[in-house]
Every structure is written in structure tokens, then in C-alpha cells.
Structure 1
Amino acid sequence: MGERVCVGAIAGAFGVRGEVRLKSFCAQPEAIGAYAPLYTEDGKRSFTVKLGSPVPNGLSARLSGIASREEAEALRGTRLYADRDKLPSLPDDEFYHADLIGLTVLDTGGTELGRVTSVQNHGAGDLLEIQIPAKGSALIPFTLAIVPTVDLASGRVIVDPPEGLFE
């Protein structure tokens, strides 16, 4: 999946004519339509997207090849991916979550702490989940104060965690 980035998910059917309720993970929710075709995680299916109106927790959308409520409902929970080259480039201080996952985590002294396994957001900002060998995992705020350096070219992040977090 390195060449594709998850941009949304199908939350279920909307109406009776095959429309879906689409959750967009894009900064501008309606931008998801510009990244089509969108692919399933396994890459076996692709869809063109015609966005409808905003609906609670998403957008209504018509996906190519989906003509009935039953077909739309069968796609519930399907994550949709866009080719990376269709996505806009980001400023130097912003990153796609997919780029952060798998990076090696080092402290400010150069000691390896673990790897980034996920990026989560529960409403108060992004958190990096760090898998620490033989210790489990820890969540750290993805802020400039705690993560001063993200070096995608070297595949690493430098963290200055709060005292005692990794002990």
C-alpha cells in the first residue's frame, strides 16, 4: 500500500439507489472526489466518485458500479485509497499519517526507543503510538515540543518525551 494513501471509508448505504455515506479523511472533506479513482485496500476494486450533499458524519456519494442499496450496504466499512501522486504536496511541517507509520523513534540522545505503529486522533490532536520492544506501546503527543524532528528521508523521528514515559 506504499503508493496509496487511505483517504476515506464507506460508512454504509444512503438511500435506495446505491448511494453510500462516505467518511472523508481529507482536510477538506469534499476533496476526496478529486482523488478518484479510489481503490479498496486489496486493490481489486476501484471506483469513480460523484459526491452528493453533506449528510450526518459524512457525504453522500455515488460510486461507479454500485446500483442498489444492497450493493452499497455490502461495502460498509471498506476503506478507500487514492494514488499518492494524486494527493497534494504538503508544507514542510505537515505529514501524511501513512508516511509516519513504520518510522524508527529515537530520543534526543540517539537511543532507539521503538517504531511508530499508528497515528491516532481522539479530538485533542494527533498522537503517535510507539511500539517499544519488550515493553508494549506508548502514546505521545505529536507536537513540535515532543517530536522536534521528523526525517522521512532517513526513516526516523526524534522525540523528547516527558520524563518517565519510556521507563
Structure 2
Amino acid sequence: MARDTVVARIGKAHGLRGEVTVRLHTDHPEERFRPGAVFTWDGADAPAAPAGLDQLTVASARVHNGIWLLSFEGCADRSAAEALRGGRLRFAVEEDNTDGWYEAELVGLQVKDVSGEVIGEVMGLDMGAAQDRLDVRLTDGRRGLVPFVEALVPVVDVPAGHVVIDAPEGLFDLGLGR
């Protein structure tokens, strides 16, 4: 069974020929972003997006200084590229994926400490250059980012609806809260 998931978020325009930077949400960008690949367009967070746009087709994909740059059919200049900023590219993926978790699977999961006490809820996944971080809203309303590594997040149980965080003392007191 397939479901729709975000594979990239569009950043700023690059150059004058319609390229955009993208923030990746996939481990296999070279497979996903081939010319001709079609993505469902989610422009809810792109205030300047053209009305009626529901799909984007990759015209070119390349890496420049470690940053993925994409261009899309029908997006030939900087103004068109800038209008896409903030939008998301979605793609149907199979449910039986075992390579990791997608943000859509994690959002809304309860966050428990190692003793089983509920301490918050997952609000999102912050994709970092070195590692991803879980965006957690604690029960007292504070928010913090927890490195999404096995040492700190030893259990991710999507069917049971929770993650377990083995947070070192003071993790949420280090100025990481928002």
C-alpha cells in the first residue's frame, strides 16, 4: 500500500534559469530527482505559488557545493523559481519501507522517557546537515530539538504511537527550546 510523503522542501531560487535549492527528506536523492520525475506539489507554505499548480516535473537535477539544485518544466526563470519557495514535493512511497521513518509517520507520536512516562509529543522532524532532530513539544508547553540518533531515541514504535527518548539530564534546559 502506498502513501504520500514529503521528499523535499523547496528553498530559495538559484541563478537566473529557474533552479531552486531543496532541503532533502529522502536518503536517495539521485534516484528520486531524475529528469522526468513527477511530484505532487504542496504549495501550502509557498505564499507566492501560482494557483492551480498541482504537479511539478523535474527538468534537471544537480549538486552544487553540496546543495541539491532542481529545475522544473515550465519554470524557466528566477521569478518562477522564487514563487515555489517554501513548497513541498510529495511522492507516493510503499508502506513497507524499512529504511527509516518519514516525518508524516513521526508527527503526533507520544514522547515517553525510559520509565514510560509521557513527556510530550513529536511536532516535526528538523532535517540537519549533520543529523536530523525530533521537534518535541513537552507537556509543559516548551519545545526542544532532540538529536534523532539511536543513543537518544532508542525506540520508535509507530504502530504503538510513541517514541522513547533517553535524554541526558538538562537536554531541554540547554536553550534548545523555542
Q: Common fold, TM-score beyond 0.5?
A: yes
The 5 A counterparts of 1:1-167 are 3-8=3-8, 9-12=10-13, 14-16=15-17, 19-23=18-22, 25=24, 26-33=26-33, 36-42=38-44, 44-56=53-65, 57-61=67-71, 63-85=72-94, 89-91=97-99, 94-165=100-171
How far 1:47 sits from its partner (Å)?
Answer: 1.3
- Structure 1 vs Structure 2 CA RMSD: 2.9
Is 2:41–2:87's contact at 8 Å kept on the other side of the alignment? Answer: no
TM-score by length of 1: 0.75
- Cα distance change on mapping 1:154 and 1:20 into 2, 3 Å: same
Question: CA 1:124 to 1:65, structure 2 compared with 1: closer, same or farther past 3 Å?
Answer: closer
What's the CA shift for 1:116?
0.9
The CA deviation string for residues 99-141 of structure 1, in whole angstroms up to 9 with x for no partner, is 2221101112221111011222443422222111224123222
Question: SS state of the match for residue 117, structure 1?
Answer: strand
Q: CA deviation at 1:10?
A: 4.7
**What is the DSSP-based 3-state SS (H/G/I as helix, E as strand, rest coil) of the residue aligned with 1:37?**
strand
Aligned positions, number: 159
> Which blocks of at least 5 consecutive residues in structure 2 are unaligned?
45-51, 174-178
Offset, 1:52: 4.2
Q: Deviations over 1:34-80 (max 9, x none)?
A: 5523312449521121224433422242x233344432332233222
- Runs of 5+ consecutive residues of structure 1 not aligned to the other structure: none
User: What percentage of aligned pairs have identical amino acids?
Assistant: 30
CA distance in 2, matches of 1:100, 1:37: 22
Letter in 2 for 1:15: L
Residue 149 of structure 1, CA deviation? 0.9
